[in-house]
Chains A and B, each alone.
Chain A
Amino acid sequence: DTEVTQTPKHLVMGMTNKKSLKCEQHMGHRAMYWYKQKAKKPPELMFVYSYEKLSINESVPSRFSPECPNSSLLNLHLHALQPEDSALYLCASSLMNTGELFFGEGSRLTVL
């Protein structure tokens, strides 16, 4: 199994809503990542979890709240988002110390 599964694939939310993006992998990877990608741009790193602990936060606004309940799951909790937060949110995982990432297909978020 070499898949990273992200749900939902599409999400539309208002600025006052609370929603969550979910990511799951069963490759035994111990590092998991959230990236944000705007149209025609490369992915931008948001958070990195290593062994279920947050190791990197790229100065992301607190309206984005990551959570790693176990080594296979990664969530991104969303609250009070702005329209400019509309983007493709990509989850990825990797074996430690390789830099080789396996990406999910992403969750397309639209904030109204």
Chain B
Amino acid sequence: AQSVTQPDIHITVSEGASLELRCNYSYGATPYLFWYVQSPGQGLQLLLKYFSGDTLVQGIKGFEAEFKRSQSSFNLRKPSVHWSDAAEYFCAATGTASKLTFGTGTRLQVTL
């Protein structure tokens, strides 16, 4: 079955520290991969996407993600976290364009 796993339910980092959020997928072929962010009470915003090509993709707000086929992973990174980055982060994948499979999400808390 197709699935997306985010192993970390909750992560706390200090402002200015680096961040890595983990995502693993299980699909028959390499899916399209996405990271979305959701602030409390808001909709989801796309941070970045991977379709093919360069395995290191850049997104908005200083985020990047690296696709590793051998590890079936698509981890999200940011060199220096800002307090405004506190939010829920969802990794998602799709083998067809119509149905996204979301991970369970990782809640990021940023301490000052």
Tell me the smallest distance from the CB of B24 to a CB of chain A, in Å. 15
- Please name all residues of chain A whose beta carbon is closer than 8 Å to the beta carbon of B36 when the two chains form the complex: 101, 103
- Please name all residues of chain B whose beta carbon is closer than 8 Å to the beta carbon of A40 when the two chains form the complex: 105
Contact with A along B56-91 (1 / 0, CB 8 A): 000000000000000000000000000000000010
- Please name all residues of chain A whose beta carbon is closer than 8 Å to the beta carbon of B90 when the two chains form the complex: 42-43
Asked if residues B43 and A105 are in contact (CB atoms below 8 Å), the reply is yes
Say yes or no for B19: interface residue by CB 8 A criterion: no
Asked if residues B44 and A101 are in contact (CB atoms below 8 Å), the reply is yes
Say yes or no for B17: interface residue by CB 8 A criterion: no
Give CA–CA (A31, B99) in the complex, Å: 11
Q: Which residues of chain A from 66 to 112 have a CB within 8 Å of any chain B CB? A: 88, 90, 92, 94, 96-106, 108
Say yes or no for A21: interface residue by CB 8 A criterion: no
- Please name all residues of chain B whose beta carbon is closer than 8 Å to the beta carbon of A101 when the two chains form the complex: 36, 44, 46, 100
Tell me the smallest distance from the CB of B69 to a CB of chain A, in Å. 18
Give CA–CA (A100, B41) in the complex, Å: 21
Asked if residues A48 and B98 are in contact (CB atoms below 8 Å), the reply is yes
- Please name all residues of chain A whose beta carbon is closer than 8 Å to the beta carbon of B45 when the two chains form the complex: 103
